[in-house]
Structure 1
């Protein structure tokens, strides 16, 4: 696993965001790419993680992801404002983020996993979780007590795309980015 600077910031004590990919969804995939661009253009230092998922990581993802997110923040400039933006497998960082008081934007979290589900259910209003109603891993009723901002995208799958409808997918993802920008106060 490795980290790289997506976009350094010239601002002193710039806020730091770490992007965590999915298993087959890289940080340059549209959901993470546009989040990275949005943050970078708002003056954030954006640190991205790239990894190769082996059988050990698949069988016990939480320690693997927690190590990656901790190393990414260690490699970034220190800042009083930090954020995790994670897609699917990267959302196994949720328990770590809760323990460390770091908010996140959790794109298609794996809510079939008890640790992820519990951490998201306990998340504060500074967090945001987004999933598609056609995604079997998105179980919003299981996190009904969360204080996090929860956004369900009608008809969207695990990629937050609407199968067979590229225009609908583009519109839906645009609404997702608008929601994230509003949540983070970037609008």
Structure 2
């Protein structure tokens, strides 16, 4: 799946509340940016008063709009999706378009997300914590070999204890994302990796 760096694009699909620049999304996006990817963060205000499952069609529409604009501007581009939580409702879009993805705290308790991920032919990574009710490690490992599971991490990837413990979690995720990008998505030769 090697692409020249001039054709590397990443669409960042946020969760429901905090936008595309929360720490876990920022680290994953930065890993792509330092590998010469153009990062396209999606900002949104999901409609109020609806469950995440009810918002799934809305998420699909929002992501398709961004991808259609990118396809018109850069025909042939195959972007990487990086999505968090609510953003994992874009999994059907990734499957339909054959896009690789990194899903951070995906909603693995919601069958439409799991069903879409099970159909994916493109590589994807799943990242979650055992303290997150939306996470199911056994489902994640059944879906992909690219899994990062953090003991006791909640939906924000925070762990109990000192703040530095949660900062270390970000480092662990960042390193795993870098490896996934270098070894799976963009196949960077080992001698040129940082």
**1:73 partnered with 2:73:** no
Tell me how far apart the structure 2 counterparts of residues 33 and 147 of structure 1 sit (CA, whole Å). Answer: 23
Q: CA deviation at 1:50?
A: 0.8
Contact 1:18 1:48 (8 Å CA) reproduced: yes
Return the TM-score normalized by structure 2: 0.82
Q: CA deviation at 1:142?
A: 2.6
**1:131 partnered with 2:125:** no
Q: CA deviation at 1:57?
A: 7.0
Where does the alignment leave 5 or more consecutive residues of structure 1 unmatched?
1-10
What is the number of equivalent residue pairs in this alignment? 177
Return the TM-score normalized by structure 1: 0.85
The aligned residue for residue 35 of structure 1 is 28
* RMSD of equivalent CA atoms: 2.1
Q: CA deviation at 1:172?
A: 1.3
Q: CA deviation at 1:145?
A: 2.6
The aligned residue for residue 15 of structure 2 is 22
Change (3 A) 1:147 1:34: closer
Tell me how far apart the structure 1 counterparts of residues 61 and 145 of structure 2 sit (CA, whole Å). Answer: 24
1:39 alignment partner, SS class: helix
2:143 alignment partner, SS class: coil
Where does the alignment leave 5 or more consecutive residues of structure 2 unmatched?
183-187
Tell me how far apart the structure 2 counterparts of residues 73 and 28 of structure 1 sit (CA, whole Å). Answer: 19
Larger displacement relative to structure 2 (136-145 or 94-103): 136-145
Tell me how far apart the structure 2 counterparts of residues 18 and 48 of structure 1 sit (CA, whole Å). Answer: 6
The aligned residue for residue 148 of structure 2 is 151
Structure (1/2) with the larger helix percentage: 2
Change (3 A) 1:174 1:143: closer
Larger RCO (alpha carbons 8 Å, 6+ apart): 2
2:138 alignment partner, SS class: helix
How far does the alpha carbon of each residue in 1:97-153 deviate from its partner, in whole angstroms, 9 at most, with x for none?
Answer: 111100100000011110101222333462000000111110122344323411111
Tell me how far apart the structure 2 counterparts of residues 88 and 131 of structure 1 sit (CA, whole Å). Answer: 10
The aligned residue for residue 4 of structure 1 is none
Contact 1:130 1:150 (8 Å CA) reproduced: yes
How far does the alpha carbon of each residue in 1:8-54 deviate from its partner, in whole angstroms, 9 at most, with x for none?
Answer: xxx88421110011111311111111222221221111111111111
The aligned residue for residue 5 of structure 1 is none
